[in-house]
Structure 1
Amino acid sequence: MTISAQSILDFPIPKATQVVSARDAILYALSVGYGTDALDDQELKYVYERDLVTAPTLANIVAHPGPWMQQTGVDWTRLVHSEHRLTIHRPVPVDVPLISRSRVLSVVDRGVEKGMFVSFERLIATADGDQPVATIVQTNACRSDGGCGSAGSTPEPLSKVPDRPPDFEFNVDIPQNAALLYRLNGDLNLMHVDPQAARKSGFARPILHGLCSFGYAGYAIVAAIDPSMATGLSSIAARFSAPIFPGETITLQMWRNDAEVRFRGLVAPRGATILDNGIARLS
């Protein structure tokens, strides 16, 4: 298949539907850090079906159209998630039919040697009544598919975090089996579980899903600012700047300005910044 920027821009991403169960919501919450202290009532509400509260970043896995970019002709083994933006209009409801509609926003060609970036938007709403639940803008880096040209309108770039020491830090330990658990939410890409597939994709060993680290960041922001876990998020966005491996510790650095929180995630022993240009808004 001949790849062109226009053919990707025009690709008809399929609609997707889902009814999120309490089990779905609990599994997701457990896979991004909630419930670490099983005796903490503030965390228990995210992982216990009685009076269940859904995690703010749950929408990331809801009504997903699947690996549609495989059908465009890109090298799927060399594709990675590079940036993610989530706007939360309301908490994801349980036992309510949901539908997502997606469209490609832009293709940015960086040249044959550098690959390209593809950004697409996913709108999630209730199937009955079309009430908005979340808006997601995802950017994928197609590392072996440069030279196809550019098309569409790119999202505004995320601004850098402040050039001063952070207001506070919060450490999150990522379990060794984090990728094995997170993949049960639906992302079965082999680079997160199979060592051979990871090496084929250019990594020494399986890497953590970008959206798993993103979910941990959402958890950490709320836990650091409000230990009662009563504060929510209305939006969160970040760039995936380096891979993180299961078993590592993320140090989330945060700068707060009222309801706005800028953040980045570090893996200090490697000197790696794994999340950058992060911005979240509290609700």
Structure 2
Amino acid sequence: MPLDYERLIRMPPRETIHTFTTRDTILYALGIGAERLAHIYEDGLIAYPMMSVIAAYPGFFAPEPEYGVTPRQVLHGEQSIRLHRMMPAAGTVRGVTTITDILDKGAKGAVVNLTRSIHDVADDSLIATVDTGLFLRGGGGFGGITTNGRRPHPIPDRPADKEVRTPTRENQAAIYRLSGDYNPLHIDPARAQAMGFDKPILHGLCTFGFAGRALIEGQAGGDASRLSRLGARFSTPVFPGETLLTRIWIEGKERVAFQTLVEERGVIALTNGLAEFGGPSQQDDCVDDAHRTRRSQGK
């Protein structure tokens, strides 16, 4: 059943208020396998920039039948973050989530792209911009545009310059879900089998966090404040207990391409990865002016 394009694209921005403590920040860090004291000890605690993916997250807010979308149709396709200032270790943030475009992939499905701006409630400063791409199986065929002109970041056709291994634990998903994603797919064997998996899989955003941590270790000497941008496409699910191998290609002084593999199975978990360093960026986020204008006019 095709999704209802007009209803979805006209959905007003969803605003979410989220208060988090140092305990939440430590729990997120443990959920992505952190061991550095700076990220797991409240004295001088530093939040990982990847924590922006869960800040003021509104949940999937269009599962109602009138939109032609059900949760079982939804696959996480892409994720990116851009930091405009460092994530605070505790505080209250406001997230504003907007559907930026919907792409019609015909019989394959549809792609819904969303952008969430995260602001510090204390002074309304912009902390981060989070872009998410969702693939909706069976949602295509509504006669919409097929592309928005954006292309995935290419992976160089040469050996990687660096590799960083980050093992996950058997209970990694059980820890990560305490940061707010309680989808039973990641904890309940029966639900996982019903979805076609032998056992519960790791959250995609947990894998994303592991990759970010590997890049910070491999390219920034463990200094999380240097990561300003991170993005990738999801390719294959990861099972808790598997080892992630992040391959890094240096493309410039503060820019790298990357790909994350599951070492035991030799499959790609994240691909078309791009990371930038040098500290939080004051540049505009990935939403172009056309999208901004269209949304402000309700088109």
TM-score normalised over the length of structure 1? 0.91
Are the structure 2 counterparts of residues 152 and 48 from structure 1 closer, same or farther at C-alpha, using a change threshold of 3 Å? farther
- What is residue 279 of structure 1 aligned with on the other side? 274
Q: After the TM superposition, which of the residue ranges 124-133 and 226-235 deviates more from structure 2? A: 226-235
CA contact (8 A) 1:176 1:247 kept: yes
Q: Secondary structure at the match of 1:163?
A: coil
1:117-174 CA deviation, whole Å, 9 max, x = no partner? 1110000001233200000110011123232332597372222111100001011111
Q: Secondary structure at the match of 1:274?
A: strand
Q: After the TM superposition, which of the residue ranges 219-228 and 167-176 deviates more from structure 2? A: 219-228
- What is residue 120 of structure 1 aligned with on the other side? 114
Is 2:62 the counterpart of 1:78? no
CA contact (8 A) 1:105 1:153 kept: no
Q: Secondary structure at the match of 1:119?
A: strand
Q: Following the alignment from structure 2 to structure 1, what is the Cα–Cα distance between the partners of residues 206 and 271? A: 15
Q: Following the alignment from structure 1 to structure 2, what is the Cα–Cα distance between the partners of residues 155 and 216? A: 29
Give 1:37-48 correspondences, 5 Å limit: 43-48=36-41
- What is residue 174 of structure 1 aligned with on the other side? 168
Q: Which runs of 4+ in 1 moved over 3 A?
A: 151-155, 226-231
Shift of 1:32: 0.7
Is 2:209 the counterpart of 1:221? no
Are the structure 2 counterparts of residues 95 and 158 from structure 1 closer, same or farther at C-alpha, using a change threshold of 3 Å? same
Q: Unpaired runs of 5+ in structure 1?
A: 36-42
Q: Aligned partner of 2:79: which letter? A: H
Give the count of matched residue pairs: 275
What's the Cα RMSD here?
2.0
1:259 aligns with one of 251, 254, 262:
254
Q: Following the alignment from structure 1 to structure 2, what is the Cα–Cα distance between the partners of residues 119 and 197? A: 27
Is 2:7 the counterpart of 1:14? no
CA contact (8 A) 1:263 1:277 kept: yes
Q: Unpaired runs of 5+ in structure 2?
A: 279-299
Are the structure 2 counterparts of residues 2 and 242 from structure 1 closer, same or farther at C-alpha, using a change threshold of 3 Å? closer
CA contact (8 A) 1:9 1:151 kept: no
TM-score normalised over the length of structure 2? 0.86
Q: Following the alignment from structure 2 to structure 1, what is the Cα–Cα distance between the partners of residues 68 and 180? A: 22
- What is residue 158 of structure 1 aligned with on the other side? 152
1:240 aligns with one of 234, 240, 247:
234
Q: Aligned partner of 1:254: which letter? A: I
Q: Percent identity?
A: 35
CA contact (8 A) 1:32 1:212 kept: yes
2:123 aligns with one of 114, 126, 129:
129
Are the structure 2 counterparts of residues 179 and 87 from structure 1 closer, same or farther at C-alpha, using a change threshold of 3 Å? same
CA contact (8 A) 1:5 1:151 kept: no
